[in-house]
Amino acid sequence: MRVKISQLPLPLDYEEKDILNAAAAKLNCSESLLSGLNIIRRSIDARKRREAPFFSIHVEIEIQDSAGFLLPDDKDIQISPGEKIFPEIMIPKISGKVKSRPVVIGSGPSGLMAALTLAEAGLSPLLIERGAPVKERTSQVSLFWKKGELNPEGNVLFGEGGAGLFSDGKLTTRSKDRFRVRRFLETLVKCGAPEDILIDSEPHLGTDILKKIVPAFRNLIEGAGGEVRFHSRLEGIRAESGRLCGIKVNGQDIETEYCILATGHSARDVYQMLAESGVMVEQKSFAVGLRLELPQESINRAQWGSFAGHQRLGAAGFRLTFKEDKENRACYTFCMCPGGTIIPCASSSGTLTTNGMSLSARPGGFGNAAFLVPVHPADYGDQAEETYPALAGIGFQDKIERLAYNAGGGDYSLPAASLSSFLKNKYHVNLPEKRSWPRSRPADLHMILPGFVCTTLEAAIPKMLSLLKGVLHEEVLLYAAETRSSSPVRLSRNETGESVNLSGLFPAGEGAGYAGGIVSSAVDGLRAAEAVIRKIRDGIKT
């Protein structure tokens, strides 16, 4: 008999043999009766009512000679179903001649997963990326961070790996599609990710690990028959009678009937081109705010108490929310980076936004997170008077980013201020010497963000930080502005995953407005590839 045990408690210093011992105690049987232990999930329980943080582990295990064995009456113990917990998703091979190979635009998680899936189906996809491969891109980003030299085609936001390459590499997701999530995570492990990401409740990779995984992912695609081209920018699409028949890349026409568009949320020129081409694009809500930084040691103490510093716990994170009230909008934290650094980002001259980044060990002295306020199409104001009203959210973003660029001195230094200065709206001319991003300058943050965003943050941040006991306002620094947590547009698609008015175009991932984060983007790319495969297979049959 095979059983699942949920919420098996283990101390921070547990060893592998302790898991079997705890399972036997939970089942009220001898360890000798147990075999085939499989860890399904692992999380840390650090709720304040507990004496000490501990690991909560979910396992599956075999009970031998179980005839007549009675399971304890415990809701955390269940007989496992016969099928695998994570059955493999089989990608059907396409047999028969295909008129033109499918094209994938963008090599972020959505595009990479889509291209690999199409390659495994035998369709020899072409993956187009406007930016550079990881090694070259890393050099471009280094120049930007050190000297403020921006390459519009190869930067923190464009290039192999997508915007998530320079991030914390979080693999948490709200997606309920656990089979496709598992397939993506197993692919990452195949590319060199640690196997712990398959069981940890809040897995992350870090930029240092991502830089190794992404080229290996590219090798998988090429090994399965796909082709990857860098420095190749999508400039146009061709359609006949509502059907895609080709694209233009670097001035060259490429025939294709199937294109997965996974450009990411910063490809503003692509949105413009699509709107000009008549592809259905609609406005979408998103969020803007500030990135907040405080000493990691303070976060650890607030979350772990006297156990802060335990090597099994590592750097602590947090998720905080503020509910909407009569005077203020909601506020929430986003992309918390323990032991990380705040970074400047830009994809076009004269604009500036922020993000957070960390390495796999999260060794930095500061933690940071975006504190975001929702923005809705009604907030776009005169931006909605543009030639294409669907792109008004981009104009809203752009206005803030240009103000941030100017406030930072016009050399891509980040504008920053202490929390106490922001709350009093009285700014100091100096910043603390110890901060994660030295290329930052004191600035009036109220001159960058819209009034309703500042008002909400003034009310929300103190209340949200009060949940982190012991954190002092004096040690908190704010950087402006966080504007690209998600796309301000959505590329409308139908139940088949295609554009509602251009058959053969499959919008996917964050840039299409259907995902948020590395895992959900990859899952959406996988679904888009499956939709293309179905359409090709059905076309061959007819």
Instruction: Render 407-471 in DSSP notation, one character per residue.
Output: HTTSSSPEEEEEHHHHHHT---S---S--S-SSEEE--GGGTS-HHHHHHHHHHHHHHHTTSTT-
> Are the CB atoms for 27 and 74 separated by under 8 Å?
no
C-alpha 198/C-alpha 519 separation (Å) is 12
Strand partners, 78: 4
To which H or E segment does residue 398 belong?
helix 392-407
Q: What is the pLDDT of residue 463?
A: 97
C-alpha 248/C-alpha 241 separation (Å) is 18
Q: Judging by DSSP bridges, how do beta strands 286-295 and 243-249 pair with one another?
A: unpaired
Judge residue 474's burial from the number of C-beta atoms within 10 Å of its C-beta, 0-12 exposed, 13-18 middle, 19 or more buried. Answer: exposed
* Mean pLDDT, the chain cut into blocks of 10 residues (542 residues total): 93 94 94 93 85 93 84 91 68 80 97 98 97 97 97 95 95 89 96 96 96 98 97 96 96 97 94 96 96 97 93 94 95 97 97 97 97 96 72 95 98 97 93 96 98 98 96 96 95 96 97 94 97 89 58
* pLDDT tens, position by position, 204-257: 999 999 999 999 999 999 999 999 999 999 999 999 999 999 999 999 999 999
C-alpha 390/C-alpha 353 separation (Å) is 22
Neighbours of 284 (CB within 10 A): 18
Residue 209 exposure: Cα atoms within 13 Å on the Cβ side? 22
Cβ neighbours of residue 288 under 8 Å, at least 6 residues apart? Answer: 372, 373, 375, 397, 400, 449, 450, 453, 481, 482, 483, 485
Q: What is the pLDDT of residue 386?
A: 63
User: Residue 325 in 3-state DSSP?
Assistant: coil
The rounded Cα 73 to chain-centroid distance in angstroms is: 40
> Are the CB atoms for 329 and 471 separated by under 8 Å?
no
Domains of the chain: 2-79 (3.30.70.2700), 103-283+488-541 (3.50.50.60), 286-482 (no CATH)
Q: What is the pLDDT of residue 542?
A: 54
